Structure 1
Amino acid sequence: MISGTSHDGIDVAVVDIDEPSGPPAQEPLDRSAVDGAPLVLTARVVAAESAPYEPVLRARLIAALPPAPTTFAEMTELDTLIGQAFAAAAQEVAAGLDDPVDLICSHGQTVFHWVEGGRALGTLQIGQPAWIAEALGVPVVSDVRIRDITAGGQGAPLVSFLDELLFRQVPGRVAALNLGGISNMTVLAPGEPPVAFDIGPANALIDAVIVTRAAHPRGYDEDGAIAATGTVDRLLLEQLLAEDYYALPSPKSTGKELFNAAYVDAALRRRAAPLTTPDLVATLTELTAVTVADAVRVQDVSTLVVSGGGWRNGTLVSRLRELLPGVTLRATDEFGAASDDKEAIAFALIGWCTAHGVPASAPSATGARQARVLGTITPGSGPLRLPEPVTTPLGSMSLTDARVTDGGSGR
């Protein structure tokens, strides 16, 4: 379960992961640590849903985010209310399953990611997991980012662990691109460890403008329709591209602590000329396309596997195709991970790894000294019983969407 940097709701994926078996076709992830054949995970996405936040709760959450001031009282209430919302979403999905849930991994809602001098020093995700454990009676893995930070990493992007398992078999130099609130990318090349980093704003600034200007009732530019009617303001775009973050080396991470509505307002004041909403949205969409395309070209990527809400923004995707004529764009759906569900699937995998004692971070992607077992565990209604640890490194993951392969329509 996860609510991402768009702060719009809770994505839930139910993943049935079998015990590892057999050697993979490709080489293992950590070639120096393998004594025998690396393990293959076989998994099926059984269900996936999205539960929007109630409008009042979302408004309170957005109002409390940096750079706005807040209080311990407000954060305590939000921690409880979001935890209860996660619990309700979990109950609703679990009620429709044929088999009971064994374990839940809740990423929660990121409200602050503390980065100074290019180094992550702390991170805060709220949504009290005890509410989920109480509601479903099963253990809950949560607070999954901080252990990577304590090991010197950025705590992001953790989805690189799933990217490595799913996409390493794609020929050539492949990148997994997520277009959420923030754009992030994992680069996989033959014979090289994965490289990953947050690129910059994907939907974050676009959504901020849509919400503050009440340009669309859903709070985002549906299919890029508003951007398609606007004209890119080249002067503003040039100012936005001068942001220091883009020049930082990887691994690096960012969030709405930097890229938020106040950031756009400050840029407009420097521009010293008003812009219509379509022109501003078009400019911010172009900013996302240009920063992503620049990062892809620097990494010399031949195939881009895309997920996240930005994949449904036709204007953004069209610009990426135009800016990257030699790059093949594919959806993660082709690999069993629906583009809307990939991050929730990744955290289901992380929860499984935590329960089995498997480190679920990629040090070359986050910058950590070593991979770590992630998260903390809140017990369910009975004694906490964990499976036997898995000690052999994972080599790959075969993922199918049972909603499609079993005759369902998916989400």
Structure 2
Amino acid sequence: MRVIGLMSGTSYDAADAAAADLSLDGDTLVLAPLGLVSEPWPGELRAALAAALPPAATTMEEVCRLDTRLGRAFASLAVRADAELCGGRADLVASHGQTVHHWAEGGTVHGTLQLGEPAWIAEATGRPVVSGFRTRDVAAGGQGAPLVSLVDVLWLRGRAGVPVALNLGGIANLTVAAGPGSPAAFDTGPANALTDAAVSDLTGGRRGYDEDGALAGRGRTDEALLRRLLDDPYYAQPPPKSTGKERFHLPYLRAALAGHETLPAEDVVATLTRLTARTVADAARSVRATEVFASGGGTRNPVLMAMLRTELGGVPLRRSDELGLPSAAKEAYAFAVLGFLTVHGLAGTLPACTGARHPSVLGSITPGRRGLRLPEPATTAPVRLRLTTD
């Protein structure tokens, strides 16, 4: 089955579409990557998103407009991915959508909201669409995040020691894929969320992120500011846990910077980059990681990666590319896998990772132009993922 996975992360700067040939071979899920296409969100749409996200106020009218505009943008990208990567022969689209709110209080997630109406995608592509992945896990008592943990476990199962998958998006999350205990997964805290907010604010909106770590590379870590940031109780909260830009946003940063107004912009960004590296490394140590495979936009920041290597000490840090999953496309491929599991009647969650009461078949299905014709339900759930170029 040829599946297109659509993903836009918490940095909400672009949408990715990764296509894969997926099949079941006994208890093995076989994934043949077909490639990735990406499109940045138009500046006006990104600005509208930023203006509507917490702690800002918004209206139902604006939510409706964003849901429609995002749905149309995802639809356009899916059409392009089908033509360029699948030769017009895609069977299914799996759309994560754009997270706009993750309602977490006291360690419990009460709800989660992703925009990007799937009907626009189904209408434009003619293909069935699986969407709304996170909500079912939340309804089952889970965090709804990190939702790619099942894919990480299948991917890294069988490696020696305690391999850990790390995603560096707006928020950083890791999955403990193997080892002496049960699998585990959780958000460690901000990856790019606070640095992006700082760069945009300190440059008057001229820059949206610290390209190539240029600002952080010229700055120094301010230890007093770092200690204040590390005092956030989220870091000491036990997993499973999840967070988002509802917590780590510009007003949060401005409050933390009170008393540090004279710090050069470079030092602020360097300190926030160190915060990401420190909290990720602390989380990796807490699970006794023996190797870390990183993916996501943060891997393109050489200063962050260098800081993370330093903070990890002797624990090897590698990109997911070394094991066949392109770091820029890994999450989009993961949602392609989750969509494939859904239409085959297979659960897409691990309760040990999300904290749910039981595994769940994820998402809702929007029929394509030819109606809904699902494959026969699978009788065996996969226990490992094999990558192939066939």
CA distance in 1, matches of 2:338, 2:178: 23
Distance 2:73 2:123 in 1: 13
Q: Are 1:108 and 2:97 an aligned pair? A: yes
Query: Hey, what does 1:136 align to over in structure 2?
Result: 125
Aligned match of 1:120: 109
Output the amino acid matched with 1:16: D
How far apart, CA to CA, are the structure 2 residues paired with 1:398 and 1:272? Answer: 50
In structure 1, the partner of 2:62 is 74
Work out whether 1:370 is the aligned partner of 2:358. Answer: yes
Show the counterpart of 1:178: 167
What is the TM-score with the length of structure 1 in the denominator? 0.91
Normalised by the length of structure 2, the TM-score is: 0.96
Cα RMSD after superposing both structures: 1.3
Q: For 2:251 and 2:290, how far apart are their aligned partners in 1?
A: 36
Q: Which residue of 2 aligns with 1:30?
A: none
Indicate the larger mover: 230-239 or 60-69: 230-239
Choose 101-110 or 275-284, whichever is displaced more.
Answer: 275-284
Q: Deviations over 1:90-131 (max 9, x none)?
A: 111212232511000100000000011100000000011110
**Structure 1 CA distance for aligned equivalents of residues 211 and 381 of structure 2:** 42
2:201 is matched with: 212
Counterpart for residue 11 of structure 2: 6
Find the aligned partners of 1:190 and 1:115 in 2 and give their Cα distance.
29
Residue aligning to 1:32: none
Residues in 1 aligned to 2:7 and 2:51: alpha-carbon distance in whole angstroms: 20
Give 2:161's aligned amino acid. Answer: G
1:391: how far off?
2.3
Q: Which amino acid aligns with 1:356?
A: H
Displacement of 1:215 in angstroms is 7.1
Structure 2 residue matching 1:145: 3-state secondary structure:
helix
Once the two structures are superposed, residues 31-72 of structure 1 have per-residue CA deviations (whole angstroms, 9 ceiling, x without a partner) of: xxxxxxxx1111111021111000010011011100000000
1:148 counterpart = 2:153: no
Tell me the amino acid that sits aligned with residue 202 of structure 1.
A
Residue 43 of structure 2 corresponds to residue 55 of structure 1: yes
Distance 1:276 1:103 in 2: 49
CA displacement at 1:254 relative to structure 2: 0.1
Alignment equivalent of 2:240, drawn from 228, 232, 251: 251
CA distance in 2, matches of 1:216, 1:113: 25
The correspondence for 1:385, drawn from 357, 373, 380, is 373
Matched, 1:235 2:224: yes
- 1:31 equivalent in structure 2: none
Q: Paired residue for 2:309?
A: 321
Amino acid at match of 2:18: A
Aligned residue identity for 1:4: G
Matched letter for residue 79 of structure 2:
Q
CA shift, 1:375, in A, is 0.1
Per-residue CA deviation, residues 146-190 of structure 1 (Å, 9 max, x unaligned), is: 000111100001110110111112210111111110000001233
For 2:298, which of 296, 300, 310 is the aligned residue?
Answer: 310
1:212 offset after TM fit, Å?
2.2
CA distance in 2, matches of 1:338, 1:259: 27
Is 1:342 paired with 2:330? Answer: yes
- Distance across 1 between alignment mates of 2:314 and 2:227: 25
Secondary structure, aligned partner of 1:391: coil
| SS of the residue 2:383 aligns to | strand
User: Aligned partners of 2:175, 2:198: CA distance in 1, in Å?
Assistant: 28
Runs of 4+ in 1 over 4 A off after TM superposition: 215-218
The answer (yes or no) to whether the contact 1:268–1:274 under 8 Å persists in 2 is no
Corresponding residue for residue 277 of structure 1: 265
**Within 1, Cα distance between the matches of 2:308 and 2:180?**
27
Secondary structure, aligned partner of 1:100: coil
More off after superposition, 366-375 vs 291-300: 291-300
Question: Map of 1:21-100 to 2, 5 A cutoff?
Answer: 21-22=25-26, 39-96=27-84, 97-100=86-89
Structure 2 CA distance for aligned equivalents of residues 247 and 191 of structure 1: 23
CA distance in 1, matches of 2:29, 2:367: 25
* Preserved CA contact (<8 Å) 1:13 1:348: yes
CA shift at 1:364, angstroms?
0.2
**Shift in Å, 1:330:** 1.6
SS at match of 1:284: helix
In structure 2, the gaps of 5 or more residues are 1-5
Q: Over residues 249-308 of structure 1, what are the superposed CA-to-partner deviations in whole Å (9 max), with x where a residue is unaligned? A: 100000000001111111112x25332211110010010011111111111111001111
Percent of pairs with identical residues: 52
Deviation of 1:214 after TM superposition, in Å, equals 3.1
Question: Structure 1: how far apart are the matches of 2:262 and 2:37?
Answer: 40
Stretches of structure 1 that go unaligned for 5 or more consecutive residues are 23-38, 406-411
- Cα distance in 2, alignment partners of residues 184 and 215 from structure 1: 29
SS in 2 for 1:206: helix
Whole-angstrom distance in 1 between the partners of 2:193 and 2:204: 15
Aligned letter for 2:150? F
